């Protein structure tokens, strides 16, 4: 399934038939029915807590129907589909959150794909559920830092912007730096690194603890060298118990070992000196695939031993043992979901959806 951002995002003026002047002013959880299609749900400033709007069960006869949802409260409004439908922006998700006050969205039902498409957004930030964005350009998407302070370790190079990206990409800027795309990057120099604690809802880095799960790991990377080996991510207890993504010469490599368990080792050639690339490792149960700039490069179907680690996630080195990343990184994602709608296959014919755009479903 593929959807283009340009087809999903019309202008407000071009949205003929949408009634922007009338609304249901609400302050509590909402469960609209099919008789409420086309209505506007306005969560007012009298709202006193986070709220949910649960969309109705729908079928073929409801194709193209829509709801307008506006958040004027100071709380998060969660939109949850009915049935087994998904919310779609840069990929499918179980729900979507309107985070910021004074934000309006329109969701429209697409029966062919059983998705509620976000077709209009005006105002602040909207984000998908089930996503773990570790580092987003010049800001951190978690409040559970446990270790080196990135503001003192990282040099934020405001002139460094990652590429490639399609010329028709519809940019949605980040809150810290509106109007800037490509996104900002961190420069890792002089043994710079970060560390984030594991174990909370926002920071679950046990990507091999459930052999039925779907996982996406992705990042934009620009190495300053292709000599030796240096690390992008490592969930590291000791040298016999960890998983890691690292550069090994020109290869991007995923590697995991655990006591009395099998070794997982997946690699593909990817790097050139001082060249931006987007890399993504997708695991769907036992299927593993590397993607470089959105194109599938490897495939393996493995039966592996489940494992979990209690250590921090390290960014830019192998645990606390060195092998520091030398170069730039941006938009590092650990997602317990299939954020790019990947369908890895043995023929290696898959391509990621919108890998160049809303990297973790965070729309700002």
Residues 216 and 322 in one domain: yes
Q: Looking at 74, 106, 128, which one is the last position of a domain?
A: 128
CATH number at residue 271: 2.60.120.200
pLDDT at 19: 54
Residues 109 and 156 in one domain: no
Are 33 and 154 members of one domain?
no
Q: Are residues 31 and 116 in the same domain?
A: yes
**Residue at which a domain ends, from 68, 94, 128:** 128
The total domain count for the chain is 2
Q: Are 256 and 244 in contact (CB under 8 A)?
A: yes
180 pLDDT exceeds 80? no
According to the model, what pLDDT value does residue 128 have?
A: 62
Residues 299 and 343 in one domain: yes
Q: What are 185's two structure tokens?
A: 């990057």
> Quick one: 163 and 86 in the same domain?
no
Task: Please determine, for residue 159, whether its predicted confidence score (pLDDT) is greater than 60.
Answer: no
Q: Are residues 107 and 138 in the same domain?
A: no
pTM of the full predicted structure? 0.62
Task: Say if residue 35 is in the same domain as residue 168.
Answer: no
Q: Is 78's pLDDT higher than 80?
A: yes
Q: Does residue 152 have a pLDDT over 50?
A: no
pLDDT band at 21 (very low <50, low <70, confident <90, very high): low
Residue 171: which pLDDT band, with cuts at 50, 70 and 90? very low
Last residue of a domain, one of 104, 128, 152: 128
Domain range enclosing 333 = 133-363
pLDDT for the residue 239:
94
Q: What is the mean predicted confidence (pLDDT) over 185-196?
A: 74
> For tokens 């494992």, what's the residue?
307
Task: Identify the CATH number of the domain in which residue 41 sits.
Answer: 2.60.120
């Amino acid at each position: 399934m593929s959807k283009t951002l340009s087809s999903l995002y019309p202008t407000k003026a071009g949205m003929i038939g949408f009634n922007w002047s009338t609304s249901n002013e609400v302050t509590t959880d909402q469960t609209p029915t099919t008789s409420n299609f086309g209505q506007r749900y306005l969560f007012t400033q009298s709202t006193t807590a986070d709220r949910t709007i649960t969309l109705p069960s729908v079928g073929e006869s409801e194709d193209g129907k829509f709801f307008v949802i506006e958040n004027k409260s100071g709380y998060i409004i969660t939109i949850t589909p009915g049935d087994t439908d998904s919310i779609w922006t840069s990929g499918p998700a179980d729900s979507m959150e309107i985070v910021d006050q004074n934000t309006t969205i329109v969701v429209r039902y697409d029966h062919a794909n059983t998705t509620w498409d976000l077709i209009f957004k005006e105002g602040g930030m909207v984000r998908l559920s089930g996503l773990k964005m570790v580092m987003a350009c010049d800001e951190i998407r978690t409040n559970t830092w446990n270790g080196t302070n990135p503001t003192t370790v990282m040099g934020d190079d405001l002139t460094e912007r990652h590429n490639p990206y399609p010329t028709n990409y519809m940019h949605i800027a980040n809150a810290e730096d509106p109007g800037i795309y490509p996104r900002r990057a961190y420069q890792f120099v002089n043994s710079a690194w970060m560390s984030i604690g594991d174990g909370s809802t926002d920071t679950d880095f046990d990507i091999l603890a459930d052999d039925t799960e779907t996982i996406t790991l992705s990042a934009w990377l620009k190495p300053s060298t292709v000599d030796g080996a240096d690390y992008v991510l490592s969930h590291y207890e000791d040298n016999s118990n960890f998983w890691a993504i690292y550069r090994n010469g020109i290869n991007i490599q995923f590697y995991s070992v655990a006591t009395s368990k099998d070794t997982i080792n997946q690699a593909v050639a990817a790097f050139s000196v001082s060249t931006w690339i987007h890399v993504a490792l997708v695991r769907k149960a036992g299927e593993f695939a590397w993607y470089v700039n959105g194109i599938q490069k490897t495939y393996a179907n493995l039966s592996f031993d489940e494992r979990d680690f209690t250590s921090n996630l390290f960014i830019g080195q192998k645990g606390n043992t060195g092998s520091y990343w030398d170069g730039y990184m941006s938009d590092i994602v650990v997602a317990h979901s299939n954020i790019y709608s990947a369908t890895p296959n043995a023929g290696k014919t898959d391509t990621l959806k919108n890998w160049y755009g809303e990297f973790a479903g965070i729309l700002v």
